[in-house]
Structure 1
Amino acid sequence: MSELTRRNFIVAGAGLTAASIFSSSVFALNKPKEKLGVALVGLGYYSTDLLAPALQLTQNCYLAGIVTGSPDKAETWKKKYNIPEKNIYNYKNFDQIANNPDIDVVYVVLPPSMHAEYTIRAANAGKHVFCEKPMALNVSECEAMIKACKDNKKSLSIGYRCQHDPNTQEFMRMAREKPMGKARLVSCAAGYFDGRTAHWKQKKAMGGGSMYDMGVYALQGARLAIGEEPILVTAQHINNRPDIYHEVDETTAFQLHFPSGALATCTGSFGIQSNFLKVDYEKGKLFIEPFSSYRGNKGVSTLGEINFPIENQQAQQMDDDALTIMQNRPQMVPGEEGMRDIRVVEAIYQAAKKGGSVKLA
């Protein structure tokens, strides 16, 4: 090899080595995360007792940060979950979360009146969003939330944990595949006795009321079991404790008419303990009780038992949604699904107020 050729070879080799190092560095910087960091916004019961413990079980995401207005809670969570100080925010400095690469997803676990604001702010900060149900107070807020996430190219998923439960997925399958024919009549109820007197669920301005909270479960049960969207609703409010439920509904009974002719009678309540789904099909029946609990949902149909145990609904939900983000796929329960419910909820409140029926487009 001539001296000129040898020199060219050495220079070329050095260039290749540098290029390889540079490529490896770029690849390392762009390598997808193995787990997404989740920040919980609002540290009430659901975050404290359910979501935080569930995030200790997840495979695709982890508890990376918190947002709270309580310094005492911040300190407790910091110690319990080893959360770095830089990943702890309050409601005033929340928007600075945009500068934190540890946090990929913001999970909005606040009263419904705050869902739209913090979903939009999270999306504008460049974060994906998980938002608890009900999605928002009205359709306009839902539309604004969906738009903010789309404009920022961020994912939006609504926290309908039951849709991640295989027992719910089984009656959804029956609605699609119709092994017993079409659903003709559905009865569904979700409720518990709430003895509190000054909780946000009893305050209208904060998004309280049984229809927003428990009624949405019954509405989901009917919609998913029939596999259609209602075209007409009627509804009635029942308040047995007007001293407590003078701003919002204690119990809402509502009836849904569907395009196929199917009917649903449903109840959401803060005064009646109930948790069941019953479906009469053209050629069979289904009964699930409980149908929307955190665990232990099970039932039976003409075709056999429905009992698919799940270790932790919330962990499954967050793992599914995180994996969907990492794989750049549409969410199982996107914002549009949450908005479908809110459109019906608005009609139910209108029907109850005027004492008649309300048509849905």
Structure 2
Amino acid sequence: MNSRRDFLQKLGISALALHLAPLSGWTASKNNVEAPYEGRVLRVAIMGLGSYGTRVAEAMQSCVKAKLVGVISGTPSKIKDWQSKYGIPAKNCYNYENFDSIKNNPDIDAVYVITPNALHHGMVLRVAKAGKHVICEKPMAINAKEGQEMVDACKKANVKLLVGYRMHFEPKTLEVIRMRNSGEFGKILFFQGQCGFKIGDPTQWRLNKQLAGGGSMMDIGIYAINGSRYMTGEDPVWVTAQETKTDPEKFKEGVDETIQFQFGFPSGATASCLSTYNMNNLDRFFLDGEKGFAEMWPSTGYGPIQGRTHKGELTQPVTTHQTVQMEEMAAIVFDNKQPVVPVNGEEAVKDLKIIEAIYQAAKTGSKVVISL
């Protein structure tokens, strides 16, 4: 096992098995057969056929409201493989040079951009100009200015801009949010988010400032940032941060290895978080209130999310995150469904502004005021 990410990926496979297992003992009858879905299906082309693009494609095979119908890639061999595996017609296959012509393809409703971070901005602008809805992986851009330009471009083109915040649809996460909203934790006092793993290949794009826009904060730290917001139900108003770098050869200038950061919220609640590319066994959220607590561990990984509160273990069903995400996003696009926690471009711009404030606080050693 090379990293915790490998472990989480294996857990993801187990999660899918757990999710599907109950179906094997199910017996059809007139009383328990659900009516087949007859609404519109979101027809999606995936841009970027790497490991996460593959994970999304596999998860979409279980969707009823969304369907993989196209691909965009700079690697012809990958396009050929995906065509064969997923039955994608040649007319729905594009490369990075010609995909603007997707505007003339009525069989594609949306493009899911799953490329390195620095490419998101330009690709999303082109997809919006082509008149297609956009789903973009997080972080949505490498800075808030680019992020806002993406939001504005999609609004101008009258297309939806959604971001791959899969945890916003995860059942145990939503149960904790429901409990907080109903006052079961009382006044929220403190949040702790620990996110990290020991990254491998030093030549990968995630360790390239030009492609990633940073280091661990742009990849794994954003989970703690976003998690602090949906777990407390507030946006932070100040941040302090400290950066630690033990391997400057692997983590070059502008590529953060480990950052600890602390938030203050309008209510007086505080948060203490960690983002790292140099430690395993970190994927934990803890929320403390005057009347109770919630702990999630694993809190954001691909494998089964586990958690407990002062009332006992969380028992909501295990799901395949990307399957649920795509089903819900189809409802957002076609039915204007409003999720419990937003997954729109405005939500992503907030996270980008917070990331910029964290970097500034780590660099200056000063408390930085956050204005969202």
Q: Which has the higher contact order (CA 8 A, sep 6+)?
A: 2
CA shift at 1:330, angstroms? 4.8
1:75 and 2:80 are equivalent in the alignment: yes
> For residues 1-361 of structure 1, what are the structure 2 equivalents within 5 Å?
34-48=40-54, 50-207=55-212, 208-247=214-253, 248-273=255-280, 274-330=282-338, 332-361=342-371
* Alignment RMSD (CA, Å): 1.4
The CA deviation string for residues 182-217 of structure 1, in whole angstroms up to 9 with x for no partner, is 210111111111111111110111124100110000
Report the CA distance shift for 1:330/1:225 in structure 2 as closer, same or farther (over 3 A).
Answer: closer
Helix, strand or coil for the counterpart of 1:34?
coil
CA shift at 1:307, angstroms? 2.8
CA shift at 1:177, angstroms? 2.3
Helix, strand or coil for the counterpart of 1:39?
strand
Helix, strand or coil for the counterpart of 1:195?
coil
CA shift at 1:176, angstroms? 2.2
Q: Distance in 1 between matches of 2:178 and 2:353?
A: 24
Helix, strand or coil for the counterpart of 1:141?
helix
Helix, strand or coil for the counterpart of 2:243?
strand
Q: Distance in 2 between matches of 1:219 and 1:319?
A: 25
Helix, strand or coil for the counterpart of 2:173?
helix
Helix, strand or coil for the counterpart of 2:304?
coil
Which structure: larger Rg?
1
Q: Distance in 1 between matches of 2:194 and 2:348?
A: 19
Which residues of structure 1 form unaligned runs of 5+? Answer: 1-31
Helix, strand or coil for the counterpart of 1:254?
strand
Percent identity over the alignment is 42
Q: Amino acid of the residue matched to residue 320 of structure 1? A: E
Q: Distance in 2 between matches of 1:307 and 1:330?
A: 25
Which residues of structure 2 form unaligned runs of 5+? Answer: 1-37
Helix, strand or coil for the counterpart of 1:255?
strand
Runs of 4+ in 1 over 3 A off after TM superposition: 328-332
Q: Distance in 2 between matches of 1:182 and 1:224?
A: 15
Q: Distance in 2 between matches of 1:42 and 1:236?
A: 34
Q: Distance in 2 between matches of 1:172 and 1:212?
A: 24
**TM-score with structure 2 length normalisation?**
0.86
